[in-house]
């Protein structure tokens, strides 16, 4: 542990597993919480550390045992996992065995050719650096962050396999791969005795690609789970942007969610979805999360949050009755693929 011993001041909620839901990841033996927590936004130097710490601790108290990181998350790159490492050292270290920690490599984090892509050099160098950032000996899941057509798949496979054989990762995953390449890497990994655990694609009411491109069927066939990111379309599938853009919201200061996507078309569709949610006695955010988790291939919904209130509110999504066929049809009518995504 590079973060050094610290006097612990946090006691985890003893009731944290009572209402938590876990789901099996594909055909592996690993269960993940229905909601996993990602540190992509507002976990760098741009948000107060004590707020980040409070959110991470609160997530764990809610039974969220899986925290998703990447070498890239910040700003600046690496800062999110360094901050997570500080919280781990201060608060969560006694619970390391209860945590599923992931990191990713491959999306560019600098001008060097070894700070991007899918080479052995990039993957294994990044993993070592991430272990130091997090202050841990191993991560539970190590991902290739995005496909790299310029590198032979065998080389990417050899990097992922080495991560597991060296004990620095327990499982491997991929993210943002299209179905054909996901199937190909799943086969190569299986031949090495290191099965592909999980795939991390984007999926929400406003992003239907995995329903259309065959990834759900590929996951079934190859036996990997799906952990879907941005299930709230970064906040577009909540009630926060139905009128104005509130101060402090992601659309105010993130390059990944620009205010110009919040237009009349978006508002009209989001308002109809909001009405549907209200008719079910829930919020749009809760409807959107329940909707992605209705699919058996989806192991976990990978959410972000900028407050403990959002976490409490969002994990309550599973307290509502399943969506009926009529309600699903209404979601399809108003949840038009590409809304707010600039697709």
Ligand X SMILES: NC(=O)c1ccc[n+]([C@@H]2O[C@H](COP(=O)([O-])OP(=O)(O)OC[C@H]3O[C@@H](n4cnc5c(N)ncnc54)[C@H](OP(=O)(O)O)[C@@H]3O)[C@@H](O)[C@H]2O)c1
Residues from 123 through 182 that contact ligand X (CB under 6 A): 145, 175-176
Cis peptide before 75 (omega within 30 of 0): yes
Binding range to ligand X, per CB under 6 A, among 12-20, 153-161, 178-186, 227-235: 227-235
CB 67 within 8 A of CB 103: no
Instruction: Give yes or no for residue 117 binding ligand X (CB under 6 A).
Output: no
One character per residue 308-327, x = contact with ligand X (rule: CB under 6 A)? --x--xx-------------
- Can you say how many angstroms the Cα of residue 124 is from the centroid of all Cα atoms in its chain? 21
Instruction: Give yes or no for residue 40 binding ligand X (CB under 6 A).
Output: yes
Among 229, 340, 205, 341, which residue's Cα sits nearest to residue 284? Answer: 205
CB of 297 or CB of 310, closer to ligand X? 310
CB of 191 or CB of 241, closer to ligand X? 241
- Angle of helix 179-191 relative to helix 215-222, nearest 10 degrees? 10
CB of 134 or CB of 303, closer to ligand X? 303
- Can you say how many angstroms the Cα of residue 169 is from the centroid of all Cα atoms in its chain? 18
How far is residue 264 from each of residues 129, 220, 245, 339, measured CA to CA in Å? 44, 38, 13, 11
The pairing of beta strand 139-144 with beta strand 100-105:
parallel
Can you list the alpha helix ranges (DSSP code H) found in 198-263?
209-212, 215-222, 250-253
Instruction: Give yes or no for residue 304 binding ligand X (CB under 6 A).
Output: yes
Cis peptide before 76 (omega within 30 of 0): yes
**Shortest reach from residue 241's CB to ligand X, in Å:** 9
| Candidate list 55, 59, 305, 317; residue touching ligand X; CB under 6 A | 305
Instruction: Give yes or no for residue 203 binding ligand X (CB under 6 A).
Output: no
Question: How many residues make contact with ligand X (CB under 6 A)?
Answer: 30
**Shortest reach from residue 216's CB to ligand X, in Å:** 17
| Candidate list 142, 177, 206, 229; residue touching ligand X; CB under 6 A | 229
Separation CA 60–CA 198 (nearest Å): 22
Can you list the alpha helix ranges (DSSP code H) found in 169-280?
179-191, 209-212, 215-222, 250-253, 264-279
**Shortest reach from residue 307's CB to ligand X, in Å:** 7
**Shortest reach from residue 12's CB to ligand X, in Å:** 22
Binding range to ligand X, per CB under 6 A, among 93-101, 113-121, 124-132, 226-234: 226-234
CB of 193 or CB of 341, closer to ligand X? 341
Please give the backbone phi and psi of residue 271, each rounded to the nearest 5 degrees, phi first.
-65, -40
Binding range to ligand X, per CB under 6 A, among 22-30, 40-48, 160-168, 332-340: 40-48
**Shortest reach from residue 30's CB to ligand X, in Å:** 18
Q: What angle do CA 230, 318, 224 make, to 5 degrees?
A: 55
CB of 49 or CB of 94, closer to ligand X? 49
Residues that bind ligand X (CB under 6 A): 38-42, 68, 145, 175-176, 200, 229-235, 238, 240, 249-250, 285, 302-306, 310, 313-314
């Amino acid at each position: 542990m590079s973060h050094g011993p610290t006097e612990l001041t946090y006691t985890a909620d003893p009731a944290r597993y009572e209402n938590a839901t876990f789901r099996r990841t594909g055909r592996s033996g690993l269960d993940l919480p229905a909601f996993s927590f990602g540190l992509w936004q507002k976990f760098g130097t741009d948000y107060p550390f004590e707020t980040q710490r409070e959110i991470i601790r609160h997530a764990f108290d809610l039974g969220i045992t899986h925290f998703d990181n990447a070498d890239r998350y910040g700003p600046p790159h690496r800062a999110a996992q360094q901050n997570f490492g500080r919280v781990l050292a201060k608060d969560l270290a006694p619970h390391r065995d209860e945590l599923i920690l992931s990191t990713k490599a491959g999306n560019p984090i600098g001008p060097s050719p070894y700070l991007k892509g899918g080479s052995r050099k990039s993957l294994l160098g990044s993993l070592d650096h991430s272990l130091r950032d997090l202050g841990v000996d191993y991560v539970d899941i190590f991902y290739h962050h995005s496909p790299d057509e310029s590198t032979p798949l065998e080389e990417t496979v050899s990097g992922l396999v080495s991560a597991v054989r060296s004990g620095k990762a327990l499982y491997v995953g991929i993210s943002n791969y299209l179905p054909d390449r996901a199937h190909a890497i799943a086969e190569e990994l299986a031949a090495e005795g290191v099965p592909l655990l999980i795939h991390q694609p984007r999926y929400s009411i406003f992003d239907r690609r995995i329903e259309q491109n065959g990834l759900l069927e590929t996951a079934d066939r190859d036996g990997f789970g799906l952990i879907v990111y941005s299930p709230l379309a970064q906040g577009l599938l909540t009630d926060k942007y139905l009128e104005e853009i509130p101060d402090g919201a992601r659309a105010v200061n993130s390059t990944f969610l620009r205010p110009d996507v919040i237009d009349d078309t978006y508002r009209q569709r989001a308002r109809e979805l909001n009405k549907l949610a209200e008719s079910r006695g829930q919020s749009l955010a809760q409807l959107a999360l329940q909707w992605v988790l209705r699919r058996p291939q989806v192991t976990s919904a990978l959410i972000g949050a900028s407050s403990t209130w959002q976490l409490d509110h969002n994990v309550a999504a599973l307290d509502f009755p399943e969506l009926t066929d009529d309600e699903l049809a209404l979601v399809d009518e108003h949840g038009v693929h590409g809304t707010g995504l600039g697709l």
